[in-house]
Chains A and B, each alone.
Chain A
Amino acid sequence: MSQLALSKEQQPVKRKKAKVELISIVGFLILLIVTVAMIMPLGFMLSTSLKTTKEMLVFPPSFIPKHFAWENFRELFVNEEIKFGRQYMNSLIVAITTVIGTVFSSSFVAFGFARYKARGSQFLFVLVLSTLMLPYPAIMIPQFLLFTKLGLHDSLLPLILPSFFASAYMIFLLKQFFTTIPNELYDAGRIDGCREVRLYWSLTLPLSGPVIATVAIFSFIWSWNDLLAPVLYLDSQENFTLPIGMAAMLSSKFRIAPWNLMMAASLLSVLPIIALFAIAQRRFVQGIVLTGIK
């Protein structure tokens, strides 16, 4: 008797549960389809990177290569003309230094804009933002002249140095975040005897995890993918970065493009980006910063 009553009460709950389950199954299926669609091109990259030149040209293409040509990956590193390892190192050096430069210089400038009000600071900020309107080709030649006159032509420095002078886009991003940090925290800091620079270093930066991660990822990717600037500045093969090497693979109008090597190189070159996302993911997800104010 009591059991019957109990089951009657449970029934609506069960129906609800079933509904929730159905939604989650459908949702899961949709996610699965989207995921497969997203991974397909990567799969095709892997498949092409493991084909011989002859098999690469077969139409219609097969998804699973008849013979796994692992030697394509070896070829990248042993081929004298490609020098893939050297280029990888150069790209890493440039990208990592650029990230450090961008994060510290842009956050320092943004801190100033966010925390201090002076006459004309608004105007200055607009001035900084207006530099966003200049596309790279507009400043390409003057900047090239400047660095050439400084004797920095054919070195990695012209690719790195500009990042230590802050970037307008990043300043904007960081400033918007810094203004949300409550003033009380800074007051507390001052009472405890912090100097202004200390407020930036020990208070602002640790509280800005997510936005710093964003800036780091953006600047890394931009530097990692940059092609035009390295092509202009670099003459010696020793200094070439990855994008130059990859563009060169497709430069011959007289040969079959080595798509298999190209795909092998592309696969290896997305690894740092994937690694960076994996590391920064946590920061992103944290999202809301605990500011310690109740």
Chain B
Amino acid sequence: MVNNKGKLVLGATLAVSLVATACSSGGGKGGKEGETVTITHYTIDSPDRTFVEKLIPDFEAKHPNIKIKVTKAPYEQFDSKLQSAIAAKNAPDVTSHWGYGGFMEYYNKGMLADLTPYLDGFSGSDYNIPEDVMNIYKVDGKTYGIPLNSYVTVMLYNKDLFDKAGLEYPPTDYEDKSWTFDKMVEYAKKMTVDSTNLAEAQYGVDFGFGERDQRPQYFNGNVYSEDTWTNGGKPSEINLTKPEVIEAYKKVYGLIWDQKVSPTPAFSKSVSGQFGDPFLSGKIAMSVVGSWSLAASSDFNFKVGVAAVPQGPNEKVRSVLYVDPLFVLKDSKHPKEALEWIKYLITTEVQEKSIELSGGNPPVNQQAAEKYYNNFEGIDPKQIQQVFDGAYKYGYESYNHLISNYSQINELFINELASVENGDQKVEDALPVIEKKLKELLARVNK
């Protein structure tokens, strides 16, 4: 039986491979003019991503020679499915780094097509995309990705807790320099009830500025050497033991353990589950967080406001930008048509439609963004616009898009800093260990 199975499979594979080689001489590249081609758009299986299916009829009516097929996978399995498809020569044409990996990872694995040859006469300004946003996905002047959505870091605050404490709401204007980190801590102290009784406990601030390795940037500490941003995301130096970086982490985790104005991980988990946001439970007064949390604001049990991230020690960087691009994969047989689809998705009209269809994705197209600011019940559009404008002005692109092998690096930070977050270890003891492990990891993956 077992033997037979082997023979059967072997026979079938042989037969198929013979057929496959016989066919592969046909179907050349690109197809002839006037033939219809099918473009596969691979995405995460959640309503805020799969809404593109609703745009297909309109697109196909305008481009009769292109058919669009959407394939999808749950978030956790996104990378596995993509890698298997590429291995089986069955790769999608259009996708993004929606899984754990980031842009640099895709670029260094040679998965991305260089779009420059097809971009004659294309300029970001035709789609109201700022030039510096277009530049995020360029390497050596070649374009590998076209921006689609842009999220920023904002401060959300719980108006009810502010009212109860009799405090003024924080400002939305980034130029208002009186709104500082220290003032935020002072406010937070007034709204903190540090209690072991979960029902009574509430905390002043949850400081989720970027990923853990990017947080020191806010305090003028840079974990990675400057050359990381220009050499394909491979740091030559790690500065985890530099005094300013140690200071920065002390400030971040001091919010939990010295000032006691931020929730412990244990508290956050018990009020919001493993990956939930404790802010939603109404027990956090201020939350520095990615603007995607705004999309759910109509479901909150309290009145929510949006404000500027306070002025920290770093004059230049006060916000992390998360610009999501679309890529064309290297194996795509029809990059030109794939690009047509991408261009369609960033037109003002479609970007405006997409806000509604996706339930609040922020357009990268600045003209469509006007409409986005009007999308939130109970929050003044002018305020949102001010917060976004300031965030763009003082923003820095998220490390996860810029650093190679980011998912492994991030996992290391999460695991190693857990003991500090739980209060079992001091920052100055943990950082040298992370530095050593990170150097080993980088030596291994960036050979």
Binding site for B on A (CB under 8 A): 53-54, 57-60, 81, 105, 108-109, 112, 124, 127-128, 140-141, 144-146, 148-150, 153, 165-166, 227-228, 231-232, 235, 244, 247-248, 250-257, 259
Contacts and interface: CB of A to CB of B under 8 A. Distances in A.
Interface residues of B, number: 51
A277 B229 CA distance: 58
A193 B202 CA distance: 81
7 contacts: A57-B282, A59-B282, A141-B88, A166-B1, A231-B74, A235-B69, A244-B45
A174 to B, nearest CB: 13
A153 B90 contact: yes
A141 B359 CA distance: 36
Nearest to B295: A254
Contact of A112 (B1, B77, B81, B83): B1
B71 A149 contact: no
B77 A227 contact: yes
Given A54-B301, A81-B50, 15 more contacts: A58-B281, A59-B282, A140-B84, A149-B13, A149-B20, A235-B71, A244-B45, A247-B45, A248-B74, A251-B45, A252-B48, A253-B75, A255-B47, A255-B296, A257-B273
Interface of A is mostly: helix
B155 interface: no
A256 B1 CA distance: 51
A149 B9 CA distance: 12
A251 B13 CA distance: 36
B158 to A, nearest CB: 13
A146 B13 contact: yes
State the 9 A-B residue pairs at the shortest beta-carbon distance, nearest first.
A247-B74, A254-B292, A252-B46, A248-B45, A251-B46, A251-B75, A59-B281, A231-B77, A235-B71
Nearest to A124: B2
B419 interface: no
Nearest to B300: A57
B268 to A, nearest CB: 11
B50 A253 contact: no
Given A54-B301, A108-B1, A141-B87, A150 B45 contact: no
A231 B73 contact: yes
Residue of A127, A148, A251 ringed by the most chain B CB atoms within 10 A? A251
A146 B77 contact: no
B444 interface: no
Given A231-B73, A254-B292, A128 B2 contact: yes
Contact of A145 (B69, B75, B87, B361): B87
B80 interface: yes
A248 B280 contact: no
B199 A145 contact: no
B75 A81 contact: no
Contacts of A228: 77, 80
B17 interface: yes
Given A59-B198, A251-B46, A148 B90 contact: yes
B358 to A, nearest CB: 9
Given A140-B84, A251-B45, A149 B283 contact: no
A252 B301 contact: no
Contacts of A166: 1-2
A137 B88 CA distance: 15
A247 B76 contact: yes
A145 B20 CA distance: 13
Given A109-B2, A166-B1, A247-B77, A256 B296 contact: yes
B62 interface: no
B44 interface: yes
B48 A232 contact: no
A186 to B, nearest CB: 20
A127 B3 CA distance: 11
B109 interface: no
A141 B75 contact: no
A252 B293 CA distance: 11
Contacts of A231: 73-74, 77, 80-81
Contacts of A253: 75, 292
